[in-house]
Structure 1
Amino acid sequence: MSVTSSDSPAASELAASPPRRRRKLQAWEWAPYVFISPFFILFLVFGLFPLLFSMWLAFQTWDPSTGLQGMEWVGIENFKFVLEDDWFQKSLYNTFWIAIVSGLPQHLVAIPLAYFAHTYLRKHRNAVVGVYFLPFITSTVAIALVWNSLFSRDFGVINMALTSIGNFSIAGLHPLAWLFPTTNVDWAQPQYTKWMISSLVFWRYVGWNTVLYLSALQTIPRDLYEAATIDGASSRQQFWHITVPLLRPMMFFAVTLTIIGNLQLFEEPFIITGGTGGINQAGKTAAMHMYNTAFVDSDFGTASAVAWILFVIIGLMTWANNKFFAQKD
């Protein structure tokens, strides 16, 4: 006669055993959770909650002076208004203009500079790279004050150099008003404002990219260069066929940081222009437009819509950069 599963000893022991109770954690077992709780609390309060609140606020019209009860649901009207706003379109154009003019040369200069320091400046490499990295850790306010002095209309070194050239100068015999309008419109042309801001951004971040590329160069095995030298490859051929291909991962990382940073550019143009954007707001970026919309116009709903549109643009640009640097099989 066959024995059923209910008659087996294991089944009888299982049926006879009392139900398991959930074990309570001892006091000492709570310690790891207590130690890591500050991070999660700070993240929830200052990270996740503002993110979700901004997303909710993008579909509202709200003046903070009226309190939370002053919110009014408007749906996607804020996004429609932002996309059709001429000032936002101009600020977005300024942002892309400055990002391209200041961002692309950073890498075109940083890669050869890092390669030169890695190859020919072995003894004094750290000192030279430290000098190039110094602008990155310098206060933005201090740098902006120096740049305002350099580009001052009446006493700036740049205008003195331009006017000293005479008729060959782009300014003729008159100093340029790089930032603020004057009574003479010939002296104040808005396109020069973006060049001024771009020069500052380039000068400040080229050292940062140099350090990134230098760290990547130090991971490339020297055996590859020695083998290439034995095969008769010149320094130029080694750079293009060994260094550049092996720098692709770091190039992707550095360019991604440049895209994110330049599309969120705020500090440098804000401090240089005093928050006004310069002549005809030629130096006003999208982040500055978002700030002015929120804290000057008190329209936090529209400002949140600007923030999320910038988020989408940055995401698309990062995705395109990923596709560009993707390794082929």
Structure 2
Amino acid sequence: MAVTPITELNERARDVFRLVVESYLGTGLPVGSRTISRMASLSLSPASIRNVMQDLEELGLLAAPHTSAGRMPTETGLRLFVDGMMQAAEPSPEERRAIEAGLTESGPIEEALSAATAALSGLSACAGVVMVPKREPVLRQFGFVSLNDRQALAVLVGHDGSVENRILDLPEGVTPSLLAEAANFMSARFAGLTLNQAGEALRQELENERTALQGLARELVERGVAIWSQDADERPVLIVRGQSHLLDDGTAADLERVRQLLEQLEGKREIFGLLQGALAGNATKIFIGSENKLFSLSGSSVIAAPYRGGDGRVVGVVGVIGPTRLNYARVIPMVDFTAQTLSRLMR
């Protein structure tokens, strides 16, 4: 259904509509005409307000869940409110500090992304999500530390000072001197390269038989490059935090919707596909209910904003997923601020 332009509503209709939406977003309950008449200085009787609400229902902006109940905004009505009537509220200093608290320039970037997403989730009472940027770490040094006859710790040191370890299965007969030979070869040949570049350089050397490595030392290098390349390909591309916030006191009468939403949050590949739609834009994107097929059954909303790397290009997306009954005026600026904070961290 096409959204009715806000300019087509007269002042009385806009006032009533705004009060219905704000009340619903605050309580999650349908709003009756008597409630509106007590809240507003409209100088309208409950009967007049009922007539306006009926008109808004015919326009597809409000709906009555039951015959005797009050009205609540439809997804179309929420879209009209968010796009044309909402007054955004900037995050408070306390909220800004909470989002920035877990962000440091040291340590794995995934830890910082996870901390910011957890803070955003707690402040918004939604599930927080963030796309992890695909990184190509520049290599500085490799090492192997023997654990036993069949396993060693493969150590990778990046130019940014990051250190990561992986357990590597060893071929039979590997000695400490062979481990040192393989590590020295990798550090000498691959320093300054990314993992992909290192893998390609090794492949060409082996194809052209230019490598001085033979036997077990050669196999160690092949295994070492392979375990890091495989690890990079399998790094998580999506972090989800705070699903428990969706189970608050207001969900008791809406458990089926929440159950469906929690199931959908398990499908990280599908959520990743949804968030990719926000990668192409420069601004926050808002999907309300069935505007997005993935969350149409649970009637959930998604607010997502892109964040940028040091070169100014968009490298990821951060956002929240929650019920359509969100405090959009508060949560949208909060998501914006989190994206801006992550962009500063990535520089």
Shorter-chain-normalised TM-score: which range? under 0.3
TM-score, normalising length from structure 1? 0.24
Task: Identify the structure with the greater helix proportion.
Answer: 1
TM-score, normalising length from structure 2? 0.23
Task: Identify the structure with the greater strand proportion.
Answer: 2
Q: Which has the larger radius of gyration?
A: 1
Higher relative contact order (CA 8 A, sep 6+): 1
